[in-house]
Amino acid sequence: MKRHLFLPLLLAVLLGSCTSEPATTTSGPSFHEVVTTRRSIRNYDATKTISEAEVRQLITLTQEAPSWANGQPTKYYVAMTPEKVAAVQELVGDFNKRNVQGAPVLMVSTYEKTKSGFFQGQATNEIGEGWGAYDNGVSNAYLVLIARAMGFDTLIMGMRDSDPLRTLFNIPDSETIMAVISLGYRAAEPNRPGRRPLEEIVSFH
């Protein structure tokens, strides 16, 4: 997959069109193919790099993700230097450390507390702080799909040591650390895991 192959389509999908004519693309896979070819990659090509400009473009597009009252609580702390990447690798467990060898970028995803799901400092329903995690998940979903559209691959890791990560990036206590996300290029084509039957996950009334 070529880098930026899907960007014209993705921009049309996320940002809309300025004209009354429907957005079209002349080449490249469809958004459906972006979704169905995105995988959790655990084998990266260490010979390929990603620039800061590309990461900025990725996160800028990710900001189009919806959030509670447009509070945009999600933040990303990006490790790109070899020293910083190596430091983060030590904080995701031995299993994940092996999985992300060769990934040139590692990102810590957080959300600001008491922002989503709150009004004037009070939780608006029983979910409470869970809405921050919800919005963070939506943002991360955008990120991994946009990354795939740009030709990159990702792995969302929930196994991580939050306290040392907080120290490493000077993350304030007002933010909850959710996940570490690797960004790179797949070294081999992974298998597609099976999916549950639709009847098990949806109920029509």
Which residues neighbour 204 within 8 Å (Cβ) at sequence distance 6 or greater? none
Rounded CA-CA distance 184/179 in Å is: 16
pLDDT reported for residue 30:
81
Pairing mode, strands 122-123 and 105-112: unpaired
Say if 196 falls within a structural domain.
no
- Measure Cα distances from 38 to 90, 123, 150, 162, 191 in Å: 26, 35, 11, 27, 11
Helices (H), 16-169: 31-37, 52-62, 82-89, 93-99, 130-149, 162-169
pLDDT reported for residue 29:
61
Say if 200 falls within a structural domain.
no
Q: Which residue range is the domain that position 86 belongs to?
A: 7-14+29-188
CATH number reported for the structural domain that contains residue 76 in this entry = 3.40.109.10
pLDDT reported for residue 88:
98
Q: How high is the mean pLDDT of the chain?
A: 90
Q: Flag whether the pTM goes above 0.75.
A: yes
Backbone phi and psi for residue 55, each to the nearest 5 degrees, phi listed first: -65, -40
Say if 22 falls within a structural domain.
no
Q: Which of 140, 161, 155 is nearest to 185 (CA)?
A: 155
Q: Which residues pair with 107 in a beta bridge?
A: 78, 181
Ranges of residues in the chain with a pLDDT under 70 are 1-29
Say if 164 falls within a structural domain.
yes
DSSP state of 23: P
pLDDT reported for residue 20:
36
Say if 202 falls within a structural domain.
no
pLDDT reported for residue 10:
54
Say if 201 falls within a structural domain.
no
CA atoms in the 13 A half-sphere facing the CB of 12: 14
pLDDT reported for residue 25:
39
Say if 181 falls within a structural domain.
yes
Question: What is the domain count for the chain?
Answer: 1
With contact defined as beta carbons under 8 Å apart, do 73 and 109 qualify? no
